[in-house]
Amino acid sequence: MEEILDSFLSSPPAGTPSEVIEAFGRLVKTQDGVLPPSVFLEAVEQSPIAISITDPNADILYVNHAFEKLTGYTEDELIGRNQSLLSYKVTPSEVYNDLWSTLAQQRSWNGVLVNRRKDGGRYLADLTVAPVQGGDGETCYFLALHRDVTGVHDLERRLRNQKVLVESVVDAAPVVIALLDSDGKVLLDNHAYKKLLGDMRGKEPADRFLEELCDVIEEDRKRSNSKRTGFVNREVELAFEHGLTSRWFSCSGVWVNKTYPGADFYFSGDKDCGLLLVANEITHQKKQQEQIKMNAMRALMAEQQLGRAMRETLSGAIYQCQAPLNTASAVVAVMERRGDGEVNPAVTALSEIIQSGEAVLSCLQEALPAESIEANFPINLNEVIKDVIDVSIQRLLGESVIVAWEPEKDIPKVIGRNYALRSLFKQLLDNAVDALNEPECRYREIAITTRALDGEVEVVIRDTGPGIAQDKRLSVFEPFYSAWQNSKFRPGMGLTIALEIVRQHGGEIFIDPHYHGGCAIHVCLPANLNHKALSDEVP
Ligand code: FAD
């Protein structure tokens, strides 16, 4: 068969029409011989896609079975009619204009039209029209393929509606929501997230959240996708620059499986695990909690300070009363030795005074408030001092005092009593503020620093007040010593109590002899370098 065809085409008989030669030249040769032309017709006829062939005016010349089935018209009803027979007359004229102008340029056109079946039912037709050129290069036919895409379109529209709905709900949610890919890139976010982005002046909030949550996320990432648990209500503090304070968020994360796009992953089902991050701002609640904690701490510190001051004051008073009583007792003893057994009215009077003095002293001793028992804990002095500054903030602001707080990072902890240490530094800070209220004071600044020294943690509180003269640097620690000019009614027990607390913690407190810009008080407490808990006993 193949040889016959080849010999016919190599020397066609004289007078054979050129269309016949062309038609035989187009026959497809396969391994098994030549494919009969009827195969092509049957392939088109049995195709599940509606196929039609029209003349250049879109008048129908041929339709296949699928076309009849889809439109409801028979072949007889269609041949010779224009394709516009299918138009439901709602497709915009611009679409038809585009179709015809594309075809006029001999290019294929694809688009969606609204068609009507014979029974009046409408469907969306996804239509592709391709021009077929004759030997002269002119378009002599159009080949049209179309299929009903109403179902697909409905599905797309439902999906779109659902997406819009989900997006509006997510957008309206008063929490920050962001979907992050495995590299931490934001794939989807909501209005609250965008607002936070603005508040952070363009710095990606997701980066900060991931930084703060890295421990829990990394832990989860080690597990396989199906075993990841996510996390719930992890508190994160975002520090804002440009003078704005920190903001707090309660963060939860859920791992979301996301199929990779693209043909390569159509069947493989490989998935990427994205993280849906939900952050609820709790700054207000946090501030309220802070406020409650501060108020409680303030009240407790005031109570402890009062108790300690009363105890120290009474002890000082007892000590001071004891001295004249001791002198009187000595005088009575001398007088009794010198007397020759006769009753001496002066000795009697003095003895009565001594007796009633001792009764008073024992009353005072009984009135001494008991020292509250506080356990020893490892304590970070930076936290203690920060709390003390926070507790004193109203006074500092009210009296226009600037505090330069320069803690050294990662100082070792000290073993101590939480509230006793707070009272100590509160006392020293109060003293520094009092010093700024003294007459010679020109600047109103207090600098507080912490640093780790050899086996110790040192806290230095410097003020710009009048300072303490060289000869007074020891007496200021004695009971009832007070030289304030503007705080005259202080009992002068503050530094005595401070010294007592420092001693109880095995540390030392002294006034820096080399500082001349005011007063600099150094407190050095033993560092808990080996984390060995000290005994609860007072040293
Ligand atoms: P018409 O008066 O027919 O035409 C409207 C506009 O179309 C005119 O203003 C003009 O810009 C352009 N136009 C029409 N005929 C020609 C032309 N011969 N040459 C250049 N521009 C022209 N339409 C459907 O609604 N559903 C179909 O399934 C469909 N299938 C088609 C298949 C093929 C192969 C082709 C070529 C066209 C098909 N059309 C189909 C388009 C159809 O022929 C009509 O143009 C369309 O239906 C609009 O018909 P009408 O009567 O509303 O307006």
- Give tens-digit pLDDT for 387-445: 999 889 889 999 999 999 999 988 999 999 988 899 899 999 999 999 998 887 778 99
> In b/e form, how buried is each residue of 83-121, taking b as 16+ CB within 10 angstroms?
bebbebeebeeeeeeebeebbeeeeebeeebbbbeeeee
Residue 331 pLDDT more than 90?
A: no
Kindly state whether residues 385 and 448 are assigned to the same domain. Answer: yes
Of the listed ranges 134-138, 256-260, 278-282, the one predicted with least confidence: 256-260
Q: Token pair for residue 404? A: 């330069």
Q: What is the pLDDT of residues 99-126, one digit of tens each?
A: 999 999 999 999 999 999 999 999 999 9
Top-confidence range, 38-42, 132-136, 448-452:
448-452
| Higher per-residue confidence, 147 vs 22 | 147
Residue 537 pLDDT more than 70?
A: no
List of residues 6+ apart from 51 with CB closer than 8 A: 44, 63, 64, 66, 67, 143, 144, 145
Q: Which amino acid is at 144?
A: A
Query: Rounded to the nearest whole angstrom, what is the distance from the C-alpha of residue 53 to the centroid of ligand 1?
Result: 14
- Cα 401 to Cα 238: distance, rounded to the nearest angstrom: 27
**Residue 205, domain CATH:** 3.30.450.20
Query: Rounded to the nearest whole angstrom, what is the distance from the C-alpha of residue 110 to the centroid of ligand 1?
Result: 13
Query: Rounded to the nearest whole angstrom, what is the distance from the C-alpha of residue 86 to the centroid of ligand 1?
Result: 10
- Cα 141 to Cα 56: distance, rounded to the nearest angstrom: 5
**Res. 532 pLDDT band, cuts 50 70 90:** very low
Q: What is the pLDDT of residues 261-294, one digit of tens each?
A: 777 777 766 667 789 999 999 999 998 988 888 8
* Domain closes at, from 315, 338, 367: 367
- Cα 269 to Cα 274: distance, rounded to the nearest angstrom: 15
Number of structural domains the chain divides into: 4
Q: Is residue 154 part of a domain?
A: no
- Cα 470 to Cα 510: distance, rounded to the nearest angstrom: 12
Pairing of strands 186-189, 231-238: unpaired
Q: Is residue 157 part of a domain?
A: no
What is the model's pLDDT at position 29? 75
pTM of the model as a whole: 0.55
Q: What is the pLDDT of residues 8-23, one digit of tens each?
A: 778 887 777 777 777 7
Kindly state whether residues 384 and 475 are assigned to the same domain. Answer: yes
Which has the closest alpha carbon to 65: 47, 90, 39? 47
Q: Is residue 511 part of a domain?
A: yes
**Mean pLDDT computed over 446-475:** 92
Going 476 to 482 to 483 to 486, the CA torsion angle's sign is positive
| Higher per-residue confidence, 4 vs 460 | 460
| Higher per-residue confidence, 393 vs 35 | 393
Going 333 to 335 to 338 to 342, the CA torsion angle's sign is negative
What is the model's pLDDT at position 274? 86
Kindly state whether residues 383 and 529 are assigned to the same domain. Answer: yes
Kindly state whether residues 528 and 381 are assigned to the same domain. Answer: yes
**Res. 35 pLDDT band, cuts 50 70 90:** confident
Pocket of ligand 1 (CB under 6 A): 54, 57-58, 82-84, 86-87, 91, 96-97, 100, 113, 115, 125, 127, 129, 142, 144, 146
Residue 1 pLDDT more than 80?
A: no
* Domain closes at, from 255, 281, 307: 281
What are φ and ψ of residue 517, in 5° steps?
-85, 10
Kindly state whether residues 252 and 358 are assigned to the same domain. Answer: no
Kindly state whether residues 433 and 481 are assigned to the same domain. Answer: yes
Kindly state whether residues 205 and 242 are assigned to the same domain. Answer: yes
> In b/e form, how buried is each residue of 372-381, taking b as 16+ CB within 10 angstroms?
eeeebeebbb
Kindly state whether residues 328 and 382 are assigned to the same domain. Answer: no
Q: At what angle do helices 418-436 and 381-391 cross, to 10 degrees?
A: 50
What is the model's pLDDT at position 32? 76
Residue 357 lies in domain: 287-367
Which has the closest alpha carbon to 325: 356, 351, 354, 348? 354
Query: Rounded to the nearest whole angstrom, what is the distance from the C-alpha of residue 63 to the centroid of ligand 1?
Result: 17
Most ligand 1 atoms within 8 A of CB, residue of 64, 83, 91, 94 to mutate = 83
**Residue 439, domain CATH:** 3.30.565.10
Kindly state whether residues 235 and 350 are assigned to the same domain. Answer: no
